Amino acid sequence: MRNQKTIKKAVSASGIGVHTGNKTTITFKPAEINTGVRFVRTDVKGHPVIEADVNNVVSVARGTTIGKGDVKVHTVEHVLASLMAFGINNVIIEVDANEPPVGDGSSSMFVDLIKQAGTVKQDANIEEMTVTNPVYEYMDDAYVAIFPYDGLKISYTISYDHPLVSTQYISMDIHKDNFEKEISQCRTFCFYRDVEELMNRGLIKGGSLDNAVVIGDEAILSKEELRFDNEFVRHKILDLMGDLYLLGKHIRGHIIASKSGHPLNVAFAKKLAANLISTENVKNNKCNEINNVEITDEETVLNINDILKILPHRYPFLLIDKIVNIENSIKATGIKNVTVNEDFFNGHFPDHPIMPGVLIVEAMAQVAGVLMLRMEQYRKKIPYFIAIDKVRFRKPVVPGDTLVIDVEFIKVRTKIAKVLTKATVNGKLASEAVLTFTVVDV
């Protein structure tokens, strides 16, 4: 277990709030163990405290606002993302207005404050939250999901109908150093076509090219060059981290997001709060129930290394990333994360990437193969297709999609097995088929 952490000394910075336009000073102060992250409105009588808790979210309009009663603090996500990255569990954050300063639109200001203050370990363990079964949340064509992973990894895809942005994708393990160098500097952005609407809604009163990147119809408007070619998707990781730190716990898992924003991030955080369990509980319980699915040890969850020990397939033809559930050796659920980096997208099709249907069928077959080759009678054998029946393709599968593949044996004989398979994306059926295999000795 890791120790809780706070800062060594009080530090402050000043500026304006991006949405309220109010001048504000933010001060980080050390806090005792188990304090958590607490915002204090020093400009309000009695200095009311608002805990950084997902249940205190009162608005997700172009930023995440927390509040109690009539007292609010707007746009807290950049502050919280920095605390999350540096592992700060306990801190008092005083603000003398209703929004932290925006700085340059990134979280660099808050990273600098943390480094200036220094950090100190405390004599108490942190409470981590670990994933033993996937958790999903959807809004329209956007989704966020989390899968078991030893660490924190985020894979993010954005897609806009705009030639200057289009589709951007990044996948990375998150730790303090690469957050500071590759995420914290990435600035908030908006489209010029949306500026008037945002102003009419009473937002971006403090917004300018000093603290945001504006995407025009024909050019990107900024006081400097983009800091990364894919700065926009990197900033989305920053926002997601801040919103998820409202859980108040460090997360271990692989988070995959597509087209997500603050409303979906917060909805996902609330779902995690209801579904995730602490590491200590995992250690103390043989089996745990999450999302009404029973997980009974590592035998029902196989990572990529486990899969490689079972299947003969290798790059570039290994098309599944994880087995997330096995039930009574007759059912299994597998995951295929479809990224824009897949080799087959180079030719299928360069300007309109779609996962080939035959490869979706192959991915379904590989999940069935894992289930099949774990059986005693089929070990050290190779399965061959002998029939593919009732194949249907219901919707295209594109970069950023996560295929959830369910297979179920409907007939098992000495050398022949038949399985019912289906693949879904965002809960919607993408493909289905009945596959029949025979097995041969290696």
pLDDT above 70: residue 265: yes
Least confident segment among 24-33, 272-281, 333-342, 425-434: 272-281
pLDDT above 70: residue 388: yes
- Which pLDDT does position 283 carry in this prediction? 38
- Which pLDDT does position 276 carry in this prediction? 55
The domains found in the chain, sorted by start residue, are: 3-124 (3.30.230.20), 129-284 (3.30.1700.10), 297-441 (3.10.129.10)
d(CA 350, CA 355): 12
| pLDDT, mean over the chain | 87
Mean pLDDT of 360-369: 93
DSSP string, 236-260: HHHHHHHHHGGGSSEEEEEEEEES-
- Which pLDDT does position 184 carry in this prediction? 97
pLDDT above 60: residue 295: no
- Which pLDDT does position 340 carry in this prediction? 83
pLDDT above 90: residue 102: yes
Element (H, E) at 438: strand 428-441
pLDDT above 60: residue 24: yes
The tokens 């061959």 sit on which residue?
384
- For the chain, counts of helices (H) and of strands (E): 9, 28
Helix segments in 213-350, DSSP class H: 231-244, 262-275, 279-284, 304-310
Least confident segment among 55-69, 94-108, 288-302: 288-302
- Which pLDDT does position 195 carry in this prediction? 83
- Which pLDDT does position 213 carry in this prediction? 92
**Per-residue confidence band for 298, with pLDDT thresholds at 50, 70 and 90:** very low
Mean pLDDT of 276-290: 37
Mean pLDDT of 161-178: 90
Q: Is 314 exposed, middle or buried (0-12, 13-18, 19+ CB in 10 A)?
A: exposed
**Per-residue confidence band for 278, with pLDDT thresholds at 50, 70 and 90:** very low
Q: In terms of pLDDT, which residue wins out, 225 or 195?
A: 225
d(CA 217, CA 192): 7
The tokens 């999903």 sit on which residue?
136
If we measure between CA atoms, which residue out of 261, 120, 114 comes closest to residue 184? 114
**Cβ density class 393-414: b for 16+ within 10 Å, e for less:** eeeebbbbbbbbbbbebeeeee
Question: What pTM did the predictor assign?
Answer: 0.65
Residues annotated catalytic, as ranges: 262, 348
Task: Give rounded-to-5 percent helix, strand, coil for the chain.
Answer: 25, 35, 40
Highest-scoring range by mean pLDDT, 11-15, 57-61, 163-167, 249-253: 11-15
d(CA 430, CA 173): 29
DSSP state of 179: I
Tens digit of each residue's pLDDT (9 = 90 or more) over 106-156: 999 999 999 999 999 999 999 888 877 778 888 888 889 888 888 999 999
- Which pLDDT does position 416 carry in this prediction? 84
Least confident segment among 286-290, 308-312, 376-380: 286-290
**Per-residue confidence band for 381, with pLDDT thresholds at 50, 70 and 90:** confident
